[in-house]
A = this chain, B = another copy of it.
Amino acid sequence: MGKKIVVILSGGMDSTTLLYYALNLGNDVVALSFDYGQKHRKELEYARNTCIETSTPHKVVDLSILNDLAPSSLTRADQPVPEGHYAAENMKATVVPNRNMVMLSLAVSYAIGVGATEVWYGAHAGDHTIYPDCRPDFLEAMINAALLCDWHPITIAAPFLNLSKGDIAKIGKDLGLDYSKTWTCYNGREKPCGKCGACVERKEALTEAGFTEKEIKLMS
């Protein structure tokens, strides 16, 4: 048996791949998801189903306090409100100030609580320029904090930090992951819209990973 690891699972492509990757290495994995808004409830359904399929214990934490403390960019005066419905949904869903510091902190608490020694999350190379709290220097500081926060050090790791979304999808492909069981679309409808930035990016990643057009259609 490997290490006991808390994997932060959103239900999207990257974190779902990370869960499979961690399980495949023989680790004892528990999944932790955060609920802080509309879009993510849809993702959370997928996260829950993935955990059921892989028999992974799954904890969902209500993070609505975060929206209360720091409203997303849509209501912040220093950020332009993006035009168009999809872009607006996009911003609301993705730019939650200081999200990673809060999520990692709570995941470290959970790791202490369940006796895990590591916390893994799915930050990747494509995130660095969009989100300040996905930058490697930020991660390094959080790694240092987690090593010191308790008498037993907790190790934070982002195994995909230097990979592209396509690289990650390739890992998932090799592990036999069916990406139709992950959710990416910014819209919370029954089926992905296929048009928003996230859907386009997802399709590119699946193509880069070597899935056939037919497979990609089934996964979109």
Contacts and interface: CB of A to CB of B under 8 A. Distances in A.
A108 B110 CA distance: 20
15 contacts: A59-B69, A61-B68, A66-B109, A70-B110, A97-B109, A100-B149, A101-B108, A101-B149, A102-B109, A105-B105, A135-B148, A137-B148, A138-B145, A141-B145, A141-B148
Determine the main DSSP class of A at the interface with B: helix
A98 B105 contact: yes
A135 B62 CA distance: 29
* A-B pairs with lowest CB-CB distance, top 3: A70-B113, A141-B144, A141-B145
A142 interface: yes
Nearest to A6: B69
Interface residues of A, number: 38
A97 B112 contact: yes
B61 A98 contact: no
Interface of A: 59, 61-62, 65-66, 68-71, 97-98, 100-102, 104-106, 108-110, 112-113, 132-133, 135, 137-138, 140-142, 144-151
A214 to B, nearest CB: 42
A109 to B, nearest CB: 4
